[in-house]
Amino acid sequence: MRSRSIAPLAAAVLLASVTLAGCSSDDGVGEVPVTPTRTASDGVSPTSGATASPAPRSAEVPALDVEVVAKGFEHGWDIGFLPDGRALVTERPGRISIVSGLREGATRTTVEADLDDLFVSVEGGLMGMVVHPDFATSRLFTTCQTHQENGQPKDVRLVTWKLSADGTSAQKWRDLLTGLPISTGRHSGCRPTIAPGAVNDSGEDELFVGTGDVAQADVPQSRTSLGGKVLRLDLETGFPLSGNPFFSLENERERYIYSYGHRNIQGVAVQPGTGAIYTAEHGPSTNDEVNLISAGGNYGWDPSRKGMVDEYDESVPMTDLELYPDAVPAVWQSGERTQAICGAAFLEGEQWGALDGALVITALKGSKLLVLTLAEDGSVEEVAVPEETDGPFGRLRAARLGPDGALYVTTTNGDDDQLLRITPRA
Protein backbone atom coordinates (compact mmCIF):
# COMPACT_ATOMS: atom_id res chain seq x y z
CA MET A 1 0.00 0.00 0.00
CA ARG A 2 1.17 3.52 -0.73
CA SER A 3 1.79 5.82 2.20
CA ARG A 4 1.20 9.53 2.12
CA SER A 5 3.95 11.85 3.34
CA ILE A 6 3.91 15.60 3.61
CA ALA A 7 7.04 17.57 4.44
CA PRO A 8 6.78 18.80 8.05
CA LEU A 9 6.23 22.44 8.80
CA ALA A 10 9.05 24.38 10.37
CA ALA A 11 8.52 24.58 14.15
CA ALA A 12 10.63 26.50 16.61
CA VAL A 13 11.37 24.68 19.86
CA LEU A 14 10.28 26.94 22.70
CA LEU A 15 11.74 27.01 26.19
CA ALA A 16 9.53 25.20 28.65
CA SER A 17 9.49 28.15 31.01
CA VAL A 18 8.11 30.37 28.27
CA THR A 19 5.63 27.74 27.11
CA LEU A 20 3.95 27.47 30.50
CA ALA A 21 3.83 31.17 31.25
CA GLY A 22 0.40 32.75 31.16
CA CYS A 23 -1.49 29.64 30.07
CA SER A 24 -2.67 26.24 31.15
CA SER A 25 -1.14 23.04 29.91
CA ASP A 26 -3.09 20.60 27.80
CA ASP A 27 -3.58 18.41 30.85
CA GLY A 28 -4.74 21.24 33.08
CA VAL A 29 -1.48 21.40 35.02
CA GLY A 30 0.36 24.61 35.82
CA GLU A 31 -2.60 26.89 35.28
CA VAL A 32 -2.13 30.64 35.38
CA PRO A 33 -5.38 32.63 35.58
CA VAL A 34 -6.34 34.62 32.50
CA THR A 35 -9.05 37.27 32.51
CA PRO A 36 -12.14 35.72 30.89
CA THR A 37 -13.13 37.31 27.60
CA ARG A 38 -16.45 35.54 27.10
CA THR A 39 -19.50 34.90 29.17
CA ALA A 40 -19.75 31.28 30.24
CA SER A 41 -22.51 29.19 28.80
CA ASP A 42 -23.73 25.87 30.22
CA GLY A 43 -22.02 25.17 33.51
CA VAL A 44 -20.69 21.86 34.78
CA SER A 45 -21.81 20.46 38.08
CA PRO A 46 -21.85 17.10 39.84
CA THR A 47 -25.14 15.27 39.76
CA SER A 48 -24.97 15.08 43.54
CA GLY A 49 -26.01 18.75 43.53
CA ALA A 50 -22.79 20.08 45.07
CA THR A 51 -22.97 23.24 42.95
CA ALA A 52 -25.63 25.00 40.94
CA SER A 53 -25.96 24.38 37.22
CA PRO A 54 -28.21 25.64 34.43
CA ALA A 55 -28.00 22.12 32.97
CA PRO A 56 -29.37 19.76 35.65
CA ARG A 57 -29.30 16.01 35.51
CA SER A 58 -32.43 14.27 34.30
CA ALA A 59 -34.11 12.19 37.00
CA GLU A 60 -34.19 9.29 34.53
CA VAL A 61 -30.41 8.98 34.20
CA PRO A 62 -29.45 5.50 35.50
CA ALA A 63 -26.84 4.84 38.13
CA LEU A 64 -23.59 3.40 36.83
CA ASP A 65 -21.40 0.44 37.70
CA VAL A 66 -17.65 0.92 37.28
CA GLU A 67 -15.42 -2.13 36.94
CA VAL A 68 -11.61 -2.05 36.93
CA VAL A 69 -10.67 -4.25 33.98
CA ALA A 70 -6.89 -4.03 34.29
CA LYS A 71 -4.16 -2.01 36.00
CA GLY A 72 -0.50 -1.20 35.46
CA PHE A 73 -0.77 1.37 32.66
CA GLU A 74 1.18 4.63 32.48
CA HIS A 75 -0.92 7.47 31.09
CA GLY A 76 -3.21 5.27 29.00
CA TRP A 77 -4.10 7.42 25.98
CA ASP A 78 -6.41 5.40 23.79
CA ILE A 79 -8.19 2.06 23.46
CA GLY A 80 -8.69 -0.21 20.45
CA PHE A 81 -10.86 -3.34 20.53
CA LEU A 82 -9.78 -6.55 18.79
CA PRO A 83 -12.16 -9.10 17.24
CA ASP A 84 -11.03 -11.85 19.66
CA GLY A 85 -12.21 -9.95 22.74
CA ARG A 86 -8.87 -8.40 23.67
CA ALA A 87 -7.93 -4.72 23.50
CA LEU A 88 -4.92 -2.56 22.74
CA VAL A 89 -4.05 0.46 24.87
CA THR A 90 -1.54 3.14 23.88
CA GLU A 91 0.46 4.74 26.70
CA ARG A 92 1.90 8.20 26.23
CA PRO A 93 5.48 7.53 27.45
CA GLY A 94 5.88 5.03 24.61
CA ARG A 95 4.27 1.66 25.26
CA ILE A 96 1.60 -0.40 23.52
CA SER A 97 -0.20 -2.83 25.82
CA ILE A 98 -2.53 -5.69 25.03
CA VAL A 99 -5.27 -6.54 27.52
CA SER A 100 -6.38 -10.16 27.76
CA GLY A 101 -10.10 -9.40 28.02
CA LEU A 102 -12.71 -6.76 28.76
CA ARG A 103 -13.83 -7.80 32.24
CA GLU A 104 -12.37 -7.47 35.71
CA GLY A 105 -9.22 -9.54 36.25
CA ALA A 106 -7.83 -9.11 32.74
CA THR A 107 -4.06 -8.88 32.46
CA ARG A 108 -1.89 -6.28 30.76
CA THR A 109 1.07 -7.36 28.62
CA THR A 110 3.53 -5.12 26.78
CA VAL A 111 3.56 -5.47 23.00
CA GLU A 112 7.10 -5.44 21.67
CA ALA A 113 7.37 -2.52 19.23
CA ASP A 114 10.16 -0.23 18.04
CA LEU A 115 9.30 3.19 19.45
CA ASP A 116 12.84 4.56 19.61
CA ASP A 117 11.88 7.44 17.30
CA LEU A 118 9.06 8.58 19.60
CA PHE A 119 9.43 12.13 20.93
CA VAL A 120 8.13 12.08 24.50
CA SER A 121 7.87 15.58 25.93
CA VAL A 122 5.23 17.67 27.70
CA GLU A 123 1.96 16.35 26.19
CA GLY A 124 3.58 14.57 23.26
CA GLY A 125 4.29 10.87 22.89
CA LEU A 126 2.20 7.88 21.88
CA MET A 127 -1.35 9.19 21.67
CA GLY A 128 -4.54 8.25 19.82
CA MET A 129 -5.22 4.95 18.07
CA VAL A 130 -7.73 3.19 15.83
CA VAL A 131 -7.98 -0.51 15.04
CA HIS A 132 -8.72 -1.01 11.33
CA PRO A 133 -12.16 -2.45 10.53
CA ASP A 134 -10.52 -5.30 8.58
CA PHE A 135 -8.19 -6.18 11.48
CA ALA A 136 -9.35 -9.82 11.47
CA THR A 137 -7.51 -10.30 8.17
CA SER A 138 -5.04 -7.38 8.05
CA ARG A 139 -4.06 -7.14 11.77
CA LEU A 140 -3.51 -3.39 11.22
CA PHE A 141 -3.95 -0.53 13.65
CA THR A 142 -2.92 3.11 13.36
CA THR A 143 -1.49 5.38 16.05
CA CYS A 144 -0.93 9.11 16.27
CA GLN A 145 2.49 9.93 17.72
CA THR A 146 5.15 12.59 18.04
CA HIS A 147 8.25 11.77 16.03
CA GLN A 148 11.91 12.70 16.48
CA GLU A 149 15.00 12.50 14.30
CA ASN A 150 18.53 12.84 15.71
CA GLY A 151 17.05 13.65 19.10
CA GLN A 152 15.03 16.61 17.81
CA PRO A 153 11.25 16.83 17.36
CA LYS A 154 10.37 16.37 13.70
CA ASP A 155 6.58 16.17 13.39
CA VAL A 156 3.39 14.56 14.60
CA ARG A 157 2.43 11.64 12.39
CA LEU A 158 -0.02 8.80 11.85
CA VAL A 159 1.72 5.43 11.81
CA THR A 160 0.11 2.15 10.78
CA TRP A 161 1.28 -0.99 12.60
CA LYS A 162 0.77 -4.72 12.06
CA LEU A 163 0.20 -6.84 15.15
CA SER A 164 1.74 -10.30 15.16
CA ALA A 165 -0.59 -13.31 15.10
CA ASP A 166 0.14 -14.08 18.76
CA GLY A 167 -0.24 -10.42 19.81
CA THR A 168 3.22 -10.21 21.36
CA SER A 169 4.78 -7.76 18.91
CA ALA A 170 3.94 -5.10 16.35
CA GLN A 171 5.89 -3.90 13.34
CA LYS A 172 5.61 -0.57 11.55
CA TRP A 173 3.67 -1.11 8.35
CA ARG A 174 3.88 2.41 6.93
CA ASP A 175 3.69 6.10 7.73
CA LEU A 176 0.08 6.94 6.88
CA LEU A 177 0.45 10.72 7.17
CA THR A 178 3.44 12.81 8.23
CA GLY A 179 4.14 16.52 8.54
CA LEU A 180 1.75 17.59 11.28
CA PRO A 181 3.53 20.43 13.12
CA ILE A 182 5.31 20.02 16.44
CA SER A 183 7.14 22.25 18.92
CA THR A 184 7.96 21.22 22.50
CA GLY A 185 5.25 18.58 22.52
CA ARG A 186 2.64 20.96 23.91
CA HIS A 187 -0.76 20.90 22.17
CA SER A 188 0.14 17.84 20.11
CA GLY A 189 -3.48 16.67 19.81
CA CYS A 190 -4.05 13.97 18.55
CA ARG A 191 -7.20 11.82 18.30
CA PRO A 192 -8.10 9.67 15.25
CA THR A 193 -11.60 8.23 14.88
CA ILE A 194 -13.10 6.14 12.09
CA ALA A 195 -16.39 7.09 10.44
CA PRO A 196 -17.54 3.93 8.63
CA GLY A 197 -18.36 4.41 4.98
CA ALA A 198 -21.80 2.89 5.50
CA VAL A 199 -22.70 5.79 7.80
CA ASN A 200 -21.47 8.46 5.42
CA ASP A 201 -22.48 6.77 2.16
CA SER A 202 -18.92 7.10 0.91
CA GLY A 203 -18.05 3.43 0.71
CA GLU A 204 -14.70 4.27 2.31
CA ASP A 205 -13.54 4.09 5.91
CA GLU A 206 -13.04 7.76 6.64
CA LEU A 207 -10.47 8.73 9.24
CA PHE A 208 -11.13 11.96 11.11
CA VAL A 209 -8.19 13.30 13.12
CA GLY A 210 -8.32 16.11 15.67
CA THR A 211 -5.00 17.95 15.96
CA GLY A 212 -3.44 20.57 18.23
CA ASP A 213 -2.07 24.00 17.36
CA VAL A 214 1.33 23.16 18.97
CA ALA A 215 1.06 26.44 20.92
CA GLN A 216 2.10 28.51 17.89
CA ALA A 217 0.07 31.62 17.25
CA ASP A 218 -0.36 31.43 13.47
CA VAL A 219 -1.08 27.71 13.18
CA PRO A 220 -4.84 27.36 13.89
CA GLN A 221 -5.94 29.89 11.24
CA SER A 222 -3.37 28.83 8.64
CA ARG A 223 -4.85 26.45 6.12
CA THR A 224 -1.35 25.47 5.00
CA SER A 225 -0.71 23.89 8.41
CA LEU A 226 -2.26 20.65 9.64
CA GLY A 227 -2.24 21.84 13.27
CA GLY A 228 -5.36 23.08 15.07
CA LYS A 229 -7.59 21.25 12.61
CA VAL A 230 -9.94 18.38 11.98
CA LEU A 231 -8.44 16.34 9.14
CA ARG A 232 -10.27 13.82 6.96
CA LEU A 233 -8.42 11.15 5.01
CA ASP A 234 -8.63 7.64 3.61
CA LEU A 235 -7.65 5.12 6.29
CA GLU A 236 -6.11 2.73 3.78
CA THR A 237 -4.09 5.10 1.57
CA GLY A 238 -3.54 8.17 3.73
CA PHE A 239 -4.76 10.43 0.93
CA PRO A 240 -7.25 13.25 1.54
CA LEU A 241 -10.81 12.38 0.60
CA SER A 242 -12.38 14.03 -2.41
CA GLY A 243 -15.34 15.40 -0.45
CA ASN A 244 -13.13 17.59 1.71
CA PRO A 245 -14.04 21.30 1.48
CA PHE A 246 -10.64 22.44 0.16
CA PHE A 247 -9.83 19.35 -1.89
CA SER A 248 -9.73 21.24 -5.20
CA LEU A 249 -7.05 23.69 -4.00
CA GLU A 250 -3.44 23.44 -5.09
CA ASN A 251 -1.86 23.30 -1.63
CA GLU A 252 -1.56 19.67 -0.58
CA ARG A 253 -2.10 20.35 3.12
CA GLU A 254 -5.33 22.24 2.53
CA ARG A 255 -6.84 19.21 0.85
CA TYR A 256 -6.78 17.33 4.17
CA ILE A 257 -8.56 20.01 6.18
CA TYR A 258 -12.16 19.45 7.20
CA SER A 259 -12.35 22.32 9.74
CA TYR A 260 -9.88 24.79 11.23
CA GLY A 261 -9.41 27.42 13.92
CA HIS A 262 -9.08 24.89 16.76
CA ARG A 263 -6.84 25.05 19.83
CA ASN A 264 -6.17 21.49 20.96
CA ILE A 265 -8.63 18.76 20.05
CA GLN A 266 -8.51 15.76 22.38
CA GLY A 267 -11.71 13.93 21.49
CA VAL A 268 -13.49 13.08 18.22
CA ALA A 269 -16.77 11.16 18.13
CA VAL A 270 -19.10 10.13 15.29
CA GLN A 271 -22.80 10.24 16.11
CA PRO A 272 -24.49 6.91 15.30
CA GLY A 273 -27.07 7.14 12.55
CA THR A 274 -26.24 10.68 11.45
CA GLY A 275 -22.46 10.58 10.96
CA ALA A 276 -22.20 14.01 12.63
CA ILE A 277 -18.73 14.75 14.00
CA TYR A 278 -18.31 16.17 17.51
CA THR A 279 -15.01 17.23 19.07
CA ALA A 280 -13.81 17.94 22.60
CA GLU A 281 -11.30 20.77 22.80
CA HIS A 282 -9.16 22.31 25.53
CA GLY A 283 -9.61 25.95 26.43
CA PRO A 284 -6.78 28.01 27.98
CA SER A 285 -8.10 28.82 31.47
CA THR A 286 -11.76 29.25 30.49
CA ASN A 287 -14.19 27.65 28.09
CA ASP A 288 -13.28 24.15 27.08
CA GLU A 289 -15.47 23.48 24.07
CA VAL A 290 -17.56 20.73 22.55
CA ASN A 291 -18.01 21.49 18.86
CA LEU A 292 -20.28 20.11 16.16
CA ILE A 293 -18.01 20.06 13.13
CA SER A 294 -19.14 21.67 9.89
CA ALA A 295 -17.20 21.00 6.68
CA GLY A 296 -15.01 24.03 5.96
CA GLY A 297 -15.96 25.69 9.25
CA ASN A 298 -13.68 28.14 11.05
CA TYR A 299 -13.98 27.66 14.84
CA GLY A 300 -12.49 31.02 15.69
CA TRP A 301 -9.37 30.34 17.78
CA ASP A 302 -6.63 32.81 16.84
CA PRO A 303 -3.95 33.62 19.44
CA SER A 304 -2.19 35.77 16.80
CA ARG A 305 -5.21 38.14 16.57
CA LYS A 306 -5.05 38.02 12.77
CA GLY A 307 -1.29 38.57 12.93
CA MET A 308 -1.55 41.66 15.11
CA VAL A 309 0.57 40.06 17.85
CA ASP A 310 3.62 37.84 17.61
CA GLU A 311 3.23 35.94 20.86
CA TYR A 312 0.78 33.13 21.62
CA ASP A 313 -1.95 35.28 23.18
CA GLU A 314 -4.24 33.00 25.21
CA SER A 315 -6.43 35.81 26.51
CA VAL A 316 -8.41 35.74 23.25
CA PRO A 317 -11.82 34.02 23.14
CA MET A 318 -11.92 30.36 22.20
CA THR A 319 -14.38 31.34 19.48
CA ASP A 320 -13.57 34.92 18.49
CA LEU A 321 -16.78 36.20 16.93
CA GLU A 322 -15.48 39.76 16.86
CA LEU A 323 -12.52 38.95 14.61
CA TYR A 324 -14.36 36.15 12.81
CA PRO A 325 -18.11 36.93 12.66
CA ASP A 326 -18.75 33.76 10.65
CA ALA A 327 -16.93 31.48 13.10
CA VAL A 328 -18.89 28.43 14.26
CA PRO A 329 -19.93 28.76 17.93
CA ALA A 330 -19.44 25.82 20.27
CA VAL A 331 -22.46 23.73 21.23
CA TRP A 332 -21.16 23.70 24.82
CA GLN A 333 -18.50 25.50 26.85
CA SER A 334 -17.24 24.74 30.34
CA GLY A 335 -17.48 28.38 31.45
CA GLU A 336 -15.13 30.16 33.82
CA ARG A 337 -13.32 26.96 34.84
CA THR A 338 -11.72 24.54 32.44
CA GLN A 339 -12.16 20.83 33.01
CA ALA A 340 -9.44 19.85 30.49
CA ILE A 341 -11.94 17.74 28.56
CA CYS A 342 -10.54 14.88 26.58
CA GLY A 343 -11.97 11.69 25.07
CA ALA A 344 -15.42 11.65 23.47
CA ALA A 345 -17.80 8.78 22.70
CA PHE A 346 -21.49 8.25 22.03
CA LEU A 347 -23.46 5.81 24.17
CA GLU A 348 -25.64 3.49 22.13
CA GLY A 349 -28.11 0.76 23.04
CA GLU A 350 -31.34 0.27 24.96
CA GLN A 351 -29.40 -0.81 28.05
CA TRP A 352 -28.39 2.83 28.55
CA GLY A 353 -31.99 3.91 29.04
CA ALA A 354 -32.23 7.72 29.15
CA LEU A 355 -28.54 7.91 28.25
CA ASP A 356 -28.96 6.14 24.91
CA GLY A 357 -27.53 8.54 22.32
CA ALA A 358 -25.78 10.76 24.88
CA LEU A 359 -22.31 12.13 24.22
CA VAL A 360 -19.81 11.27 26.96
CA ILE A 361 -16.73 13.42 27.53
CA THR A 362 -13.86 12.62 29.91
CA ALA A 363 -12.10 15.31 31.94
CA LEU A 364 -8.47 15.36 33.00
CA LYS A 365 -8.31 18.25 35.45
CA GLY A 366 -11.98 17.81 36.30
CA SER A 367 -11.50 14.08 37.06
CA LYS A 368 -15.02 13.23 35.93
CA LEU A 369 -17.29 12.11 33.13
CA LEU A 370 -19.56 14.68 31.51
CA VAL A 371 -22.73 13.28 29.93
CA LEU A 372 -24.24 15.59 27.31
CA THR A 373 -27.80 15.04 26.13
CA LEU A 374 -28.23 16.40 22.61
CA ALA A 375 -31.26 17.87 20.89
CA GLU A 376 -32.21 16.89 17.34
CA ASP A 377 -30.50 20.02 16.00
CA GLY A 378 -27.22 18.99 17.64
CA SER A 379 -27.35 21.47 20.49
CA VAL A 380 -26.78 20.45 24.11
CA GLU A 381 -29.94 20.14 26.18
CA GLU A 382 -28.52 18.85 29.46
CA VAL A 383 -25.17 18.17 31.12
CA ALA A 384 -24.84 15.56 33.84
CA VAL A 385 -21.90 14.33 35.92
CA PRO A 386 -22.64 10.87 37.34
CA GLU A 387 -21.58 10.57 40.97
CA GLU A 388 -19.88 7.21 40.35
CA THR A 389 -17.32 8.84 38.02
CA ASP A 390 -16.99 12.21 39.73
CA GLY A 391 -13.51 12.06 41.25
CA PRO A 392 -12.76 8.58 42.64
CA PHE A 393 -10.61 7.49 39.68
CA GLY A 394 -8.73 10.73 39.18
CA ARG A 395 -7.92 12.06 35.73
CA LEU A 396 -9.84 10.38 32.90
CA ARG A 397 -8.62 10.37 29.30
CA ALA A 398 -9.77 7.85 26.69
CA ALA A 399 -13.45 7.10 26.10
CA ARG A 400 -14.48 4.40 23.63
CA LEU A 401 -17.69 2.39 23.32
CA GLY A 402 -16.82 -1.30 23.33
CA PRO A 403 -18.24 -4.06 21.14
CA ASP A 404 -20.33 -5.21 24.13
CA GLY A 405 -22.01 -1.79 24.43
CA ALA A 406 -20.09 -0.85 27.58
CA LEU A 407 -18.11 2.37 27.87
CA TYR A 408 -14.37 1.93 28.36
CA VAL A 409 -12.28 4.69 29.92
CA THR A 410 -8.62 5.03 30.88
CA THR A 411 -7.22 6.89 33.84
CA THR A 412 -4.13 9.03 33.35
CA ASN A 413 -2.70 9.71 36.79
CA GLY A 414 0.73 8.34 35.87
CA ASP A 415 0.92 5.78 38.66
CA ASP A 416 -0.63 2.35 38.05
CA ASP A 417 -3.30 3.70 35.71
CA GLN A 418 -6.43 1.69 35.02
CA LEU A 419 -8.74 0.58 32.23
CA LEU A 420 -12.34 1.00 33.41
CA ARG A 421 -15.56 -0.60 32.16
CA ILE A 422 -18.68 1.49 32.77
CA THR A 423 -22.24 0.17 32.41
CA PRO A 424 -25.71 1.22 33.55
CA ARG A 425 -26.66 -0.45 36.82
CA ALA A 426 -29.17 -3.23 36.32
* CB 410 within 8 Å of CB 418: yes
What pLDDT is recorded for position 61?
67
What pLDDT is recorded for position 120?
97
Mean of the per-residue pLDDT values of the chain: 87
What pLDDT is recorded for position 27?
55
**Mean predicted confidence (pLDDT) in 198-211:** 82
Confidence of residue 204 (pLDDT cuts 50, 70, 90): confident
Residue pLDDT, tens place only, 179-188: 999 999 999 9
Residue that wins the pLDDT comparison between 39 and 249: 249
What pLDDT is recorded for position 415?
86
Pairing mode of beta strands 368-374, 380-384: antiparallel
Confidence of residue 22 (pLDDT cuts 50, 70, 90): very low
**Mean predicted confidence (pLDDT) in 205-229:** 97
Residue that wins the pLDDT comparison between 283 and 27: 283
**Is pLDDT at 45 greater than 70 in this prediction?**
no
DSSP secondary-structure letter at 410? E
Instruction: Look up the pTM and report it.
Output: 0.88
**Is pLDDT at 34 greater than 60 in this prediction?**
no
What pLDDT is recorded for position 198?
65
What pLDDT is recorded for position 251?
97
**Residues in contact with 400: Cβ distance below 8 Å, sequence separation at least 6, in sequence order:** 78, 79, 80, 81, 343, 345, 407, 408
**Is pLDDT at 126 greater than 50 in this prediction?**
yes
Q: Is 403 exposed, middle or buried (0-12, 13-18, 19+ CB in 10 A)?
A: exposed
Distance of CA 328 to the CA centre of its chain: 19
**Mean predicted confidence (pLDDT) in 246-263:** 98
What pLDDT is recorded for position 47?
32
What pLDDT is recorded for position 244?
97
Confidence of residue 150 (pLDDT cuts 50, 70, 90): very high
